[in-house]
Amino acid sequence: MEVHAGVRSYICSECNRTFPSHTALKRHLRSHTGDHPYECEFCGSCFRDESTLKSHKRIHTGEKPYECNGCGKKFSLKHQLETHYRVHTGEKPFECKLCHQRSRDYSAMIKHLRTHNGASPYQCTICTEYCPSLSSMQKHMKGHKPEEIPPDWRIEKTYLYLCYV
């Protein structure tokens, strides 16, 4: 019932991120241990979870199960279809906090953020340090004393963009 109520009661002891289930926390912990138990039989690449391996295999098989009902274009990943569909709707859910420019997709927003004097897309809300990646921000946060981190702190607060998805 906790999952459906939106309660995130499973906390990572490494980075304090919260998760809706023990399974999600267990999968996340592999990001700290480097464990990649799922191997692609085509190329030997290894992955943290089975669903990522399944998506990866589509590179080899050419399978594109997601089709745009607006133009018929097909995609191997669901998020590619969702991003593409914004071409038809005009939706631009990512907004730069610095200049308010909007973008259709996350990667374009990250590229845009770097036009602001090379700004990294993540800014610590405690000491205002900038970090180039989410993982470097998580490592940076470990350098702060636990009492410095507000109880309502979330990694999303460090993003220099807003997402309205």
Residue 34 is predicted with a pLDDT of 85
Q: How confident is the model at residue 2 (pLDDT cuts 50, 70, 90)?
A: very low
| pLDDT tens digit sequence for 5-33 | 556 689 988 888 889 999 889 888 988 88
Average pLDDT rounded to a whole number, residues 151-155: 82
Of residues 102 and 32, more confidence is placed in 102
In angstroms, the Cα distances linking 124 to 22, 31, 95 are 28, 21, 18
| pLDDT tens digit sequence for 33-62 | 888 999 999 999 999 999 999 999 999 999
Helix ranges restricted to H, 11-121: 22-33, 50-61, 78-89, 106-113
Average pLDDT rounded to a whole number, residues 2-6: 47
Q: Which structural domains are found in the chain, ordered by start?
A: 2-47 (3.30.160.60), 94-163 (3.30.160)
Q: Which of 4-8, 45-49, 64-68, 152-156 has the lowest mean pLDDT?
A: 4-8
Average pLDDT rounded to a whole number, residues 85-109: 94
DSSP state of 159: B
Of residues 117 and 105, more confidence is placed in 105
Q: What is the value of pTM for the model shown?
A: 0.63
